[in-house]
């Protein structure tokens, strides 16, 4: 009988181990499932960060299509280049300063207006040098004053 008791105790301990193992397996499966979810979330966050670092307009609804379909290198440079090549963003040159544009246009008008005009006691090269010096020192207004002294029309049709 003592053998029977020993066998019953052994069966009970095996069953309790099986119950514990079953619980351990469930816990391990839950942990593995949680780990997979966290890894997926981490990868999605890394991906979103890479697109944000690339300077893409994330509030543009068209960008969602690009983000979902992009499978290239996850560096900001590669993402930006791919987005511009695919036409999702427009690469713009640095905007020029309006004052610089206005100055260049004014200088161009003065130079165009002065072509072929003779100046009393002054060569064309000397007159141009004086106009350029006035532009560098005093800007557009100073250059226009010199142009007026030479009799060059300076009105701006607008």
97 half-sphere exposure, CB direction, 13 A CA radius: 4
Which of 8-17, 131-140, 149-158 shows the lowest mean pLDDT across its residues?
Answer: 8-17
The per-residue pLDDT for range 71-119, each reduced to its tens digit, is 989 898 999 899 888 888 876 655 556 777 777 777 777 766 666 555 5
Count of positions (residues) in the chain: 158
Residue 15: the pLDDT is: 47
Euclidean distance between CA atoms 46 and 3, whole angstroms = 62
Residue 157: the pLDDT is: 44
Q: What is the pTM of this model?
A: 0.41
- pLDDT at position 158 over 80: no
Query: Average pLDDT over the chain, rounded to whole?
Result: 76
Domain coordinates in residue numbering, the chain: 2-85, 98-149
* Contacts of residue 152, Cβ cutoff 8 Å, sequence gap at least 6: 110, 113, 114, 117
């Amino acid at each position: 009988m003592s053998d029977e008791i020993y066998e019953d105790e052994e069966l009970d301990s095996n069953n309790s181990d099986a119950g514990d193992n079953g619980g351990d397996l469930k816990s391990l499966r839950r942990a593995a499932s949680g780990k997979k979810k966290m890894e997926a979330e981490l990868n999605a966050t890394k991906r979103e960060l890479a697109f944000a670092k690339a300077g893409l307009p994330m509030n543009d609804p068209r960008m969602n299509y690009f983000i979902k379909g992009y499978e290239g290198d996850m560096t900001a440079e590669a993402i930006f280049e791919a987005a511009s090549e695919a036409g999702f963003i427009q690469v713009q040159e640095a905007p020029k300063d309006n004052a610089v544009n206005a100055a260049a246009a004014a200088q161009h008008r003065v130079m165009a207006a002065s072509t072929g005009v003779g100046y009393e006691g002054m060569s064309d090269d000397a007159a141009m040098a004086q106009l350029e010096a006035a532009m560098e020192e005093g800007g557009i207004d100073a250059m226009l004053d010199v142009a007026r002294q030479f009799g060059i029309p300076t009105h701006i049709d607008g």
